[in-house]
Amino acid sequence: MKALPSFLVALAAFTWFPLHAADDPSLAALTAADEARVAAMKSGDRDKLTAIFSDDLRYAHSSGVVDTKSSFTEVLATKKTKYVGYDYVERKFTFPAPDIALMTGSTHVRTFTITGEMDSILGYLAVWRKENGQWRFLAWQSCKLPTATEPK
């Protein structure tokens, strides 16, 4: 019974202070994988996109359009959608299960598509899965957040 208070103090300290990439090699690898994903999406490099996206990718855009690995890679590689800005406002990682990471937060995204330009702040939930020892991008779902000038 004496170990229980010590365990609770350790658990509270662990959950109170968030990990940073410098504190945890898994978090550092995941952060690097996400930076590589953003760079690949901005460049439209088919090989890099193929390497970072899971074969099971489900990418639900804020518009309601849902892409697979194949369809999203094609859209980016052919420049039908061009990401010109991708700046995180907030990005947090949690690890709900072994080899699964959730990424939540908001990001300022600027894109050009065949239908026009999008300049939005998005709230998002992303899922990463470790596949064969490598973090792969499994899922994305986002929604547009109101700007300071838009009514809530």
The model's pTM is 0.81
| Half-sphere exposure of residue 77: CA atoms within 13 angstroms, side-chain side | 12
CA–CA separation, 43 vs 48, rounded Å? 9
What per-residue confidence (pLDDT) applies to 147? 77
Mean predicted lDDT score pLDDT of the chain: 87
Residues in the chain, total: 152
What per-residue confidence (pLDDT) applies to 14? 41
What per-residue confidence (pLDDT) applies to 25? 80
